[in-house]
Amino acid sequence: MTHASRRAVGLALTSLTGLAAFLMVAMLALILLDVIANGASHVTWTFLSQPPSDGMMGGGIFPAIIGTAALTLLMTLAVMPVGVLTAVYLHEYAPPNSRFARWVRVAVVNLAGVPSIVFGLFGLGFFILFVGKGMDRMLGHEELYWAQPGILWASLTLAVLTLPVVIVSTEEALRAVPMDHRTASLALGATQSQTLARVVLPGALPGILTGAVLAISRGAGEVAPILFTGAAYFLPDLPSRLNSQFMHLGYHTYVLATQSPDVEATRPLLYATVLVLLLLTFALNLVAVIIRTRTRRKAAGAH
């Protein structure tokens, strides 16, 4: 083959790779455009502030928004301390070539790959039927109190699911804190924990926030783990106790899309719900991307 023809073949195949990249962007644009075009007109203040009515064929999604927010808030409270401290152990405290640290890493990688529906089974089997039942017995509840699906168990299930996200981004953030900062602090007589609390963690804060935001975005969108651990089909009341069930944007989407008696009547509601859910997760992801690029640029500038 002559050089010119090799070049031509190469160019053709190169444009094929470009096409693949374009296809991914195009699918994203298609989904966004479809959801915005069909949903935007229906996202009104009444839609955002009213509970569903007329057998899910009217009204809004207020309880679902509050339910999702409460769920992710509880999840964040549970996952952040554990995730951040695990990353701190892996990056700051583990002795070099520590076998325990290696095991933790293997576990985290595998935890990230466990199917979300299995987390749902775990939440049911562990939190509700084991922990919840045990608490009921210890606290002397005659009826089911903790041993039933509720927002606490759902949020803890999601916390286990998002643990790898937090650990990975926190570790990346810790890696970006220059070694000099630590040695300088130690040389000034600070102990390891003082260095951690006053130098390393503040330096890594943007990255840790990125992890939190990513975890929230992941947790807000997951439906499979909360199917049996607390999500409710229809519940006009807001969750008031840790063991109450709740409505959820993702679960509401699933219900509207698959269990509606009249598909055409619920279509605008469905699209509007999806639009709100997408805006929420995209806004969170965008925040994470922005924080991360900014810190990366800063880290690159520091060296």
Partner 1 sequence: MDRQAVMQQGLAETIPVPRLSPEARRRQLREKAIAGFITLMAFTGIAALVLILVFVAKEALALFTEAEARHEASLSKMFLPQVVRQNRPPAFVWQPVSGVPKVSMIPLFIGTLKTTAVSMLVAVPVGVFGALYAAEFAPRRLRELLKPVIELLAGIPSVVLGFFALMVMATFLQDTLGLNTRLNAVVAGLGLALAIVPVIFTVAEDSLTAVPRSYREASLALGATPWETAWKVVLPAAAPGILAACVLGFGRAIGETMIILMASGNAAIVSANLGDSVRSLSATIAAEMGEVVVGSTHYSLLFFIGVQLFLFTFVLNMLASTWTKRVVKKLTGSAS
Pick from 86, 169, 243, 245 the residue near partner 1 by CB under 8 A. 86
Name the residue nearer to partner 1 (CB basis): 151 or 160: 160
Residues near partner 1 (CB under 8 A), total: 91
Pick from 56, 64, 88, 200 the residue near partner 1 by CB under 8 A. 88
Judge contact between 231 and 247, C-beta under 8 A: yes
Pick from 85, 135, 279, 287 the residue near partner 1 by CB under 8 A. 85
Q: Which of 65, 60, 68, 67 is nearest to 43 (CA)?
A: 60
- Residues 120-149: x where in contact with partner 1 by CB under 8 A, - otherwise, as a string: xxx-xxx--xx-------------------
Name the residue nearer to partner 1 (CB basis): 62 or 228: 228
Q: Which letter, b or e, does each residue of 200-234 get, where b requires 16 or more Cβ atoms within 10 Å of its Cβ?
A: bbebbebbbbbbbbbbbbbbbbbbbbbbbbbbbee
Name the residue nearer to partner 1 (CB basis): 176 or 222: 222
Does residue 77 interact with partner 1 by CB under 8 A? no
Name the residue nearer to partner 1 (CB basis): 60 or 250: 250
**Residue 57, CA atoms < 13 Å, CB-side half-sphere:** 8
Residue 169 beta carbon to partner 1: minimum distance, rounded to whole angstroms: 12
Pick from 64, 223, 247, 269 the residue near partner 1 by CB under 8 A. 223
H/E segment holding residue 58: strand 58-59
- End-to-end distance of the chain based on CA atoms, in angstroms? 47
What part of residues 102-121 is at the interface with partner 1 (CB under 8 A)?
103-104, 106-121
User: Positive or negative CA dihedral for 180, 181, 183, 187?
Assistant: positive
Judge contact between 274 and 46, C-beta under 8 A: no
Q: Return the range that interacts with partner 1 (CB under 8 A); candidates 171-179, 180-188, 200-208, 212-220.
A: 212-220
Does residue 13 interact with partner 1 by CB under 8 A? yes
* Amino acid letter for position 101: A
Does residue 289 interact with partner 1 by CB under 8 A? yes
Does residue 53 interact with partner 1 by CB under 8 A? no
Q: Return the range that interacts with partner 1 (CB under 8 A); candidates 137-145, 170-178, 235-243, 286-294.
A: 286-294
110-118: long-range contacts, CB 8 A cutoff, minimum separation 24? 111/160, 111/163, 111/164, 112/164, 112/165, 112/168, 115/224, 116/161, 116/222, 116/224, 116/225, 117/224, 117/225, 117/227
Does residue 270 interact with partner 1 by CB under 8 A? yes
Residue 48 beta carbon to partner 1: minimum distance, rounded to whole angstroms: 18
